[in-house]
Amino acid sequence: MLSFPAVEQQAGGPAPRPCYWAQAQVVRHKACTREFQCQSCPFDRALRKQAAVNAARKPKGEPRLKDRIETWQDKLRQLPALQRPCIHTMRGEITFRPCTENYLCAECSFHQYFQDIYSVHTVLSPIDLLECRGFHIPQGYYLHPGHAWVKLESEDTVRIGLDQFALKILGPLDCIDIPVLGKRLTQDQPGFILHREGHSIAVLSPVSGVITDVQTELGEHPAPALDDPYGQGWLVRVKASDLRRELPGLILGMESEDFLSQSVNRVFSLLEEKYGPLAADGGDLAPDLAGQLPEMSWEKLAEAVLRP
């Protein structure tokens, strides 16, 4: 019987498992440090690139070590069918189960079933939070320049929400128009509409794909998102269509601090244009600026926040 454990990120958890390439014995030793989110892994990209080069040509003479590199899927396909481990076995999520779809996971009904069940139990609980100018950013989350965040859940599934900066500065929001299930999102195109006191502005989608789950209640009553913007504040789950191309254009890790600092400075510049010098360098922005400064246009403030 299969077991689908609830997953919650915790400090001091189990040691990382070997990555797919190591488990397939393409390389000797390599631990996965990205929770098997290969789209964001430079090691995976480098080996796939070399494998593609090797597949396109046959080296002359004795092949060098790098000339022997093939994809981990091709390496495992050389095993007898019943000895090829399912990727969920390789991740340590289930006991041994053979791959029945030749590592074409998109065509695998078990993979889709597992993702549907497993995602219900997944708890987004960021451990490491970077603090910058009075705002927090979680490690391991991608940020779009328009202040939507992306958290990878599987090879092609992500959750999307609004970061703390946008929610604090533009809130409290009356509601958020969230597209319905099955709606296709396109990166850098309007994905969600924020509403406040008769005003509205679109948030750009951070990735492309089809919406598979929606927090409808949060759209109607978005205030709770501010209490937990990176956990229970997610808006949609999306089956992404082009993560390998789109993720490198997002912001991750220590770059997030520079990005957030620039966002704070941009809002300060807007306020100083209207009210004069407000704070020395390094000052923090107060929440709900529109409410505290009623003379400030909410649309203009929202443009400064969401349209860098």
Q: What percent of the chain has pLDDT over 70?
A: 86
Identify whether the C-beta of residue 126 lies closer than 8 Å to the C-beta of residue 140. yes
- CATH label, 127-308, candidates 3.40.190.10, 2.40.50.100, 3.40.50.620, 1.10.132.20: 2.40.50.100
Q: Would you tell me how many other CB atoms lie within 10 Å of the CB of residue 85?
A: 19
Task: Calculate mean pLDDT across residues 163-175.
Answer: 92
Q: What is the mean pLDDT of residues 216-227?
A: 90
Encoded amino acid at 251, one letter? I
pTM assigned to the model: 0.71
Q: At residue 219, does pLDDT exceed 80?
A: yes
What average pLDDT does this structure show over 215-239? 91
Task: Kindly report, residue by residue over 269-307, the tens digit of the pLDDT.
Answer: 888 887 776 544 445 677 777 778 777 788 889 999 998
Element (H, E) at 260: helix 255-275
In terms of DSSP H, where are the helices of 86-238? 87-90, 109-121, 164-170, 216-220
* Range list for CATH 2.40.50.100 in the chain: 127-308
Tokens standing for residue 116: 């549907």
